[in-house]
Amino acid sequence: MLIRKTNDIQPLEITPSEITPKSVYLNRRAFMSGAAAAGTAALVGPRIASLLAPAASVHADTKLTTVPSPLSTTGEQLTSLQDITHYNNFYELGVDKGDPARNAGRMKTRPWTVSIEGQVKAKKTFDIDTLLKLRPLEDRIYRFRCVEAWSMVIPWVGYSLSEFIKECDPLPSAKYIQFLSLADPNQMPGLREANLDWPYSEGLRMDEAMHPLTLLTFGLYGETLPNQDGAPVRVVIPWKYGFKSAKSIVKVRFVDKQPHTTWNEMAPNEYGFYSNVNPDVDHPRWSQKTERRIGASIFKQRQPTLMFNGYGDQVAKLYTGMDLRKNF
Ligand code: MTE
């Protein structure tokens, strides 16, 4: 993986809101040409940028049949579809927040398969339309907290990942699960822009993956996922920082050792494998005590961050006896 030296870093692009300094992950040419645009974007801000972006389209054939879920978070104002679909991190489609929406049309999500390999009784491949029908699709409202200290409240559609794992027949030796995303340079211009170790890889311990809150996600706001949000299938782990939630998954591997994961490999001192939301463990370059709720009224924009993103009652027991400062 190519990482530029720190003495190449220029002051313009080091902002606390960025997941890692752009100079670290951008290839030099893309970085130089993006610098001027980045300055403008910073002045304009995400709200105006999202208004300039094309409206999120809702196609007739994207409607999903869903049932309500008892696991939904209640009492929170939902983030608008416009913000959810125009303020994204999906580096394969570009590194700026508006790039995924701009480049989403280049991605093809049919045909699509998800292959299963590693510690399983037998390798399998699922067609996306089979996966969609495996279990009833639920509407699940979750708080979604990005490591960059912004958050949203998103009405996802999916079913618990545990239901899918049962269909995969993992062996007892499978201790972790790894998700690998699509990495096709013909559809994804960001692959050339960012010096990350593609394909995007994320992983969970098996008990985290089997937790009912961990969602295999096919849609949001009652419709299939827009490409920029990880179509046609992604995971969502609501008590972890957003980068754990891999998008556009094409491969699932069951493994006996902790798998390599993209951001942890890029900067292990900044992005831990666990990455549970924790207001008491700061990112080395910024505080995690508060978050900016995207699209909220000016009075509610800055909120305190909750331990495990507010899902501690359900998930804290997964980490009994673990030092969460060391295992951040
Ligand atoms: N998955 C892939 N394949 N590529 C990415 O760049 N970004 C991650 C995560 N999953 C990312 C990814 C990060 S940093 C975040 S915060 C969330 O996706 C953002 O999801 P959203 O754009 O739907 O809000």
CB of residue 262 inside a 6 A radius of ligand 1:
no
Ligand 1, atom 16: closest residue by C-alpha: 242
Question: Ligand 1 centre from 228 Cα, in Å?
Answer: 9
- Domain hosting 284: range is 6-319
In a domain, 132, yes or no: yes
In a domain, 76, yes or no: yes
d(CA 247, CA 134): 19
In a domain, 325, yes or no: no
CB of residue 246 inside a 6 A radius of ligand 1:
yes
The verdict on whether omega for the bond into residue 189 sits within 30 degrees of 0, i.e. cis, is: no
Q: Which residues pair with 223 in a beta bridge?
A: 63, 220
Question: Ligand 1 centre from 300 Cα, in Å?
Answer: 24
Ligand 1, atom 9: closest residue by C-alpha: 243
| The predicted structure's pLDDT at residue 19 | 64
In a domain, 326, yes or no: no
Question: Ligand 1 centre from 88 Cα, in Å?
Answer: 7
Number of domains in the chain: 1
Pairing state between β 113-118 and 249-255? parallel
| The predicted structure's pLDDT at residue 33 | 52
Closest CA to 161 of 173, 152, 151, 170: 170
- DSSP reduced 3-state for 57: coil
d(CA 236, CA 144): 9
Closest CA to 44 of 87, 10, 75: 87
How many CB atoms within 10 Å of residue 50? 22
In a domain, 26, yes or no: yes
Q: Report the CATH number that the domain containing residue 199 is assigned in CATH.
A: 3.90.420.10
If you write DSSP's letter for every residue of 226-244 in order, what string do you get?
PGGGT-S-EEE-TTB-GGG
CB of residue 119 inside a 6 A radius of ligand 1:
no
Question: Ligand 1 centre from 247 Cα, in Å?
Answer: 6
Q: What is the pLDDT along the chain (328 residues), one digit of tens a residue?
A: 333 333 333 333 334 456 676 667 776 555 555 444 333 333 333 433 344 344 444 444 689 999 999 999 999 999 999 999 999 999 999 999 999 999 999 999 999 999 999 999 999 999 999 999 999 999 999 999 999 999 999 999 999 999 999 999 999 999 999 999 999 999 999 999 999 999 999 999 999 999 999 999 999 999 999 999 999 999 999 999 999 999 999 999 999 999 999 999 999 999 999 999 999 999 999 999 999 999 999 888 999 999 999 999 999 999 999 999 999 9
Cα Rg of the chain, angstroms: 19
| The predicted structure's pLDDT at residue 300 | 85
In a domain, 203, yes or no: yes
Q: Which residues pair with 292 in a beta bridge?
A: 150, 302
d(CA 236, CA 63): 20
Token representation of residue 180:
């690998």
d(CA 151, CA 173): 36
CB of residue 247 inside a 6 A radius of ligand 1:
yes
Residue 186 corresponds to which amino acid?
A: N
Question: Ligand 1 centre from 196 Cα, in Å?
Answer: 13
Question: Ligand 1 centre from 121 Cα, in Å?
Answer: 31
Token representation of residue 49:
């940028």
d(CA 132, CA 135): 7
In a domain, 328, yes or no: no
Ligand 1 atom nearest the C-alpha of 90 is 6
In a domain, 324, yes or no: no
CB of residue 143 inside a 6 A radius of ligand 1:
no
CB of residue 271 inside a 6 A radius of ligand 1:
no
d(CA 93, CA 88): 10
| The predicted structure's pLDDT at residue 252 | 99
